[in-house]
């Protein structure tokens, strides 16, 4: 089982959607997410889009890197520029990739649907490719 950490700033939208999509769609890969400045809550529209696609789990929540820093990840993925620029050092060297997505926070539900689709179409193949190349 490969482990992937998906990071963004608030850990309320993009990284949660990425975590859920990786867990639901990529076999043999376990994803978690965190934020460099977590909001402490999942955006209601992010939860709604995951529920509508049948991949929401109550265990998904906004958390700080401190909660996952000691887990041995195979890959770290940043999904926003701020997290990419401020991505912290990990106790052990971990391959990192950056795939940025526009933040849907503060926009209508359609923006969350578009973000879900974009993460599914763009992020998942890049995660799979990065893990295959390890």
Q: For residue range 107-116, what is the model confidence (pLDDT) as tens digits?
A: 999 999 999 9
Any residues with CB less than 8 A from the CB of 50 and at least 6 apart, and which? Answer: 16, 17, 20, 56, 60, 116
Residues 115-127, mean pLDDT to the nearest whole number: 98
Structural domain count, the chain: 1
Q: Has 34 been annotated as catalytic? A: no
Q: Is the pLDDT of residue 61 over 90?
A: yes
> pLDDT band for position 83 (50/70/90)?
confident
Spatial CA neighbour of 11 closest among 62, 69, 80 = 62
Q: Is the pLDDT of residue 58 over 90?
A: yes
The predicted pLDDT at position 54 comes to 98
- Active-site option among 24, 68, 87, 94: 87
- Active-site option among 8, 31, 34, 77: 8
Instruction: Kindly report the pTM of this predicted structure.
Output: 0.96
Average pLDDT of the chain? 94
Angle, alpha carbons 107-23-21 (nearest 5°): 30
Domain that holds residue 92: 2-132
- Active-site option among 17, 75, 80, 131: 80
Q: Has 8 been annotated as catalytic? A: yes
Residue 60, domain CATH: 3.40.50.2300
Q: Has 80 been annotated as catalytic? A: yes
């Amino acid at each position: 089982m490969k482990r992937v950490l998906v990071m963004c700033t608030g850990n309320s939208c993009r990284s949660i959607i990425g975590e859920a999509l990786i867990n639901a769609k990529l076999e043999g890969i376990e994803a978690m997410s965190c934020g460099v400045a977590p909001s402490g809550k999942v955006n209601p529209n992010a939860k709604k889009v995951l529920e509508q696609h049948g991949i929401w789990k109550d265990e998904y929540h906004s958390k700080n890197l401190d909660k996952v820093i000691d887990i041995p990840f195979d890959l770290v993925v940043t999904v926003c520029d701020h997290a990419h620029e401020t991505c912290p050092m990990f106790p052990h060297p971990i391959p990192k990739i950056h795939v940025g997505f526009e933040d849907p926070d503060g926009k209508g539900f359609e923006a969350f649907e578009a973000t879900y689709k974009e993460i599914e179409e763009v992020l998942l193949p890049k995660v799979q490719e990065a893990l295959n190349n390890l």
